[in-house]
Structure 1
Amino acid sequence: MKVLVALILLAQLPIHQAVPAAPPPPPLGCDDPEAEAAAALAVNYINDHSHHGYKFALNRIENVRVLPQGPNNQVLFLELDLLETKCHILNPIPLENCTVRSFEEHAVEGDCDVKLQNLDGKLSVVASKCHSHADSAEDVIRVCPDCPLLETLNNTEVLTGVAAALNEHNGKTAGAYLKLLEIGRARIQYHPVHLVFVEFAVAATNCSAEEGKNNVDACQLLPEDESNFGFCTATIATQPTLDAQVDCQLYGHQPGVTYSQPGQDTSAGLLPNVQGFTNHNLRLSHNNPVASESSSSEFPSPAIAAKSVAKRAAVEAAQHDKAVRPVGFAPPPPPCPGRIHYFKI
């Protein structure tokens, strides 16, 4: 009888079954909407904090890592490939309306590591590290043997050409006298005609063009609350005589938009950190002191990341070989790297 009562009592006790742990979320792919949104925010952040050169556009997401930090809190690490556009950083045109430079124009690529936080669904950039470089001359020549290549920004012909182009504009305009801020890029064509192609940023002064011709030293850039920046492109023929064809555009005053002046005399319009270089380096032009000082050490080590990726790939390959696949089965594509938006350098 006692045994029967014990069995009845046991039957009435709640049955606790082990609840299987929830499977980990699938890895975030480089082409997933979440990754694309984070990359877009990162690119805009980089452009907003760059002070020289051109805006960059996303070309490819190379890798994305997500590290949970607690409830509704994640940290994302992105590796991004960017391409230089034709919009100077002072140009108010939105990035989506800026044209990416073609491969034949001797493209410049940017490589960026960006750390973001996703807290309660709100993304914010914590830190970023970037550098940029021009494509190799050999790659350009292989595709386009006659295309002019990028020249160093302090090349004598380039400096002479920019001065001639700016004098040509100031000599013909009825507007404000323009001063050079910086040379953006330059290329030289040697055959069949010797031509210098230059692009440079300018700013309006408090002088008219006529006043500037008579006393250029008296002309000063407009104060910050009246500043008017612009951009010029020019083609200069040096033989048989110097002849400059120039087109300059002023953007009008843009509240909050400033130009970072160098800390030393650069009357030639060259920054101290671009002497001898062909392009403005994102590593030099972009800096976020607060984020970089506090968070630079928190970026995943490239060596560790490479080893973990290689190890994970080996394990996945082994599992793939052991698995029995039905006829016609195609494994899903790898989550990274993502698609190329423009072209690969």
Structure 2
Amino acid sequence: MKALVALILLVQLPIHKAAPAAPPTPLGCDDPESEAAAEVAVSYINGHSHHGYKFALNRIENIRVLPQGLNNDIIFLELDLLETTCHILSPTPLANCTVRSFTDHAVEGDCDIKLQKVDGQLSVLASKCHSHADSSEDVLQFCPDCPLLASLNNTEVLATVAAALQDHNSKTADTYLRLLEIGRARIQYHPVHVVSVEFAVAATNCSAAKAKADVETCQLLPDDQSNFGFCTATMVTKPLQDLKVDCQLYGHQPGVTYSQPGQDTAAGMTPSVVQGFPNHNLRLSHNNPFASESSSSEFPSMLSAKSVAKRAAAAVAQHDKVPHPVGFVPPPPPCPGKVRHFKI
């Protein structure tokens, strides 16, 4: 009987449930954790790009962290990038690559990246990017005399690249170079007519003398011997013709390859990549829709970056209406983050 009474009393005792865990504090775009994720993302983008130049981080637009379990998070990043002067084949570390100036007709990249963080280790699951040159109107408004980017298949551009490569190969007895791709081109029309080009090259198995005798037998070196390089050239056509060329080979880089799908070796370009465009688009290398939070079937109801930014701005505006002590500095909105170079 005593045992029954004790059991009844035990059942009637209030049950104390564990308090639900507080939701994690949203990361700000300039927090160290956000910048660490952005660094991994940018490294992935550059490491998996097939054409054009390396990009540097300009701004973290948005970050969303979605917990998946113990020490397991999914992270969605939205990044603004800027093109640097380093070709993707260049061994120069990104930290030593110069971001193209605004007057150099800058190219911007917009990227969505999906990462996973497990036990503190970050890895990229998907990436989606698009890159585009700054508008001609913006450049000319700021710098009326700055030459603009020309289409990579412009006839003057193609002629300048061909002349530059022929000039270099005719003046060296060493390795015969072959064109991989044209990276950039600008045309200045006054006071003199100047075509400036940049293009990637690769060493062949021919010397210049052998190539002169039978260029058709010259082939790019195999991957285990590959030697890529980069050339710049300027061709003045008016009032007097003048050509200046500078080519540098990087030396063999183990593991570094160049993608040449359907390349027209006569023109040295991939038509689908450059046809009518002034820059190589990151979309060709990064086009996974699951990189975007709004496109992910796993999280269809998540807020877009714009709505998050608007909400943060509204919160700051409301915060400013509250009386504060003299000298109080309101906290910055969590996103977007700071601009590291300049905003296009």
TM-score normalised by L of structure 2: 0.88
Match of 1:221 in 2: 220
Whether 1:276 and 2:276 are equivalent positions in the alignment is yes
What is the letter of the counterpart of residue 142 of structure 1? Q
Contact 2:149 2:185 in 1 (8 A): yes
Mean Cα displacement is larger for which, 18-27 or 299-308?
299-308
Match of 1:111 in 2: 110
- Structure 1 residue 217 displacement after superposition: 1.3
Question: SS in structure 2 opposite 1:77?
Answer: strand
Distance 1:302 1:89, change over 3 A: farther
In 2, the alpha carbon distance for the partners of 1:46 and 1:309 equals: 25
Contact 1:262 1:272 in 2 (8 A): no
- Structure 1 residue 46 displacement after superposition: 0.5
Match of 1:338 in 2: 337
- Structure 1 residue 241 displacement after superposition: 5.3
CA offsets, 1:222-266, max 9 Å, x none? 111111110000011123554320000001111111111122434
Contact 1:187 1:197 in 2 (8 A): yes
Show structure 1 runs of 4+ deviating over 2 A: 14-26, 239-243, 285-289, 295-304, 306-331
CA RMSD of aligned residues (A): 2.9
Mean Cα displacement is larger for which, 124-133 or 19-28?
19-28
In 1, the alpha carbon distance for the partners of 2:197 and 2:144 equals: 20
Match of 1:128 in 2: 127
CA offsets, 1:254-282, max 9 Å, x none? 11111111224342122122110000000
Alignment of 1:291-310 (within 5 A): 297-298=296-297, 304-305=303-304, 308-309=307-308
In 1, the alpha carbon distance for the partners of 2:160 and 2:115 equals: 43
Match of 2:30 in 1: 31
Mean Cα displacement is larger for which, 17-26 or 37-46?
17-26
In 2, the alpha carbon distance for the partners of 1:254 and 1:49 equals: 16
CA offsets, 1:164-189, max 9 Å, x none? 10011001112111110000000001
Q: Could you tell me the percent identity over the aligned residues? A: 73
In 2, the alpha carbon distance for the partners of 1:47 and 1:170 equals: 30
- Structure 2 stretches lacking a partner, 5+ long: 1-8
Mean Cα displacement is larger for which, 320-329 or 211-220?
320-329
Distance 1:127 1:251, change over 3 A: same
CA offsets, 1:27-59, max 9 Å, x none? 101111100010000000000000110000001
What is the letter of the counterpart of residue 277 of structure 1? F
Match of 2:185 in 1: 186
What is the letter of the counterpart of residue 57 of structure 2? L
In 2, the alpha carbon distance for the partners of 1:318 and 1:230 equals: 52
In 1, the alpha carbon distance for the partners of 2:271 and 2:259 equals: 13
Whether 1:58 and 2:57 are equivalent positions in the alignment is yes
Contact 2:131 2:281 in 1 (8 A): yes
Mean Cα displacement is larger for which, 216-225 or 266-275?
266-275
TM-score normalised by L of structure 1: 0.88
Distance 1:302 1:67, change over 3 A: closer
Contact 1:49 1:287 in 2 (8 A): no
Contact 2:58 2:342 in 1 (8 A): yes
Contact 1:115 1:299 in 2 (8 A): no
- Structure 1 residue 304 displacement after superposition: 4.2
In 2, the alpha carbon distance for the partners of 1:225 and 1:154 equals: 31
CA offsets, 1:139-172, max 9 Å, x none? 1111111111000000000000000100110011
Distance 1:16 1:44, change over 3 A: same
- Structure 1 residue 17 displacement after superposition: 6.9
In 1, the alpha carbon distance for the partners of 2:53 and 2:288 equals: 18
Distance 1:84 1:16, change over 3 A: same
Match of 1:6 in 2: none
In 2, the alpha carbon distance for the partners of 1:318 and 1:48 equals: 41
